[in-house]
Amino acid sequence: GAVVSQHPSRVICKSGTSVKIECRSLDFQATTMFWYRQFPKKSLMLMATSNEGSKATYEQGVEKDKFLINHASLTLSTLTVTSAHPEDSSFYICSAPGGRARAFFGQGTRLTVV
Amino acid sequence: GDSVTQMEGPVTLSEEAFLTINCTYTATGYPSLFWYVQYPGEGLQLLLKATKADDKGSNKGFEATYRKETTSFHLEKGSVQVSDSAVYFCALSDPYSSASKIIFGSGTRLSIRP
């Protein structure tokens, strides 16, 4: 079946630095990918929709300059957390549509900002 | 807007017990409904789905029936195993999105005692 690979699975960074998370569709092309954030004991919240070749669409309340999304090819979307702070520590997960209202998810990235 | 509400966890059961995790939804139109599972240290996996009213999704002994009249999609399993310990997410697909944007419930952590 379709596979979405997300990297890295875990990252620890210092406050003020930037972190890039990659999401790749391995055996299919994805013109759209979704980025979610999961808070402890809470749901997965959709952050933004990544569109190949155009600007990402952000959900209300998500800072565009904080969470930079680039979808440069049909198989790769990246999320960069800029000037990270401890409150950005979270579990980030990407997904790509699989047709028929399905989605394929990456393994997720646990970001810890110290 | 569309939303999903599921019972809060954690839920702790003994092996071979009967499981129910409640899920209700609010949506305009006719969404598809899903249960996703996240095993420890792994990404999200689709467990089962239903795309229209009265459909029953089933997989690995789990079942859920799309009840339009009660806007519910409760997850059930007759006899749980230790290996079922995971976080379970109820979700719906945005019926007006052609690219499978998914809205999640808050997740229910299930722990099964041997």
* Residue contact A43–B105, C-beta within 8 A: yes
Model pLDDT for residues A54-65, shown as the tens digit of each residue: 899 999 899 999
**Which of A16-20, A44-48, A65-69 is predicted with the least confidence, judged by mean pLDDT?**
A44-48
A100 pLDDT exceeds 80? no
Chain A residues interacting with chain B (CB cutoff of 8 angstroms): 6, 31-32, 34, 36, 41-46, 49, 93, 95, 97-103, 105-108
* Residue contact A95–B42, C-beta within 8 A: no
A64 close to A76: Cβ distance less than 8 angstroms: no
How much is the pLDDT for B95?
61
A85 close to A103: Cβ distance less than 8 angstroms: no
Nearest CA in chain A to B45: A105
Pairing of β B11-14 and β B108-113: parallel
Question: Could you write out the DSSP letters of every residue in chain B?
Answer: --EEEE--S-EEEETT--EEE-EEEE-SS---EEEEEE-TTS-EEEEEEE-STT-EEEETTEEEE-BTTTTB--EEESS--GGG-EEEEEEEE-TT-TT--EEE---EEEEEE-
How much is the pLDDT for A44?
83
Percent of chain A with pLDDT over 90: 64
A8 pLDDT exceeds 90? yes
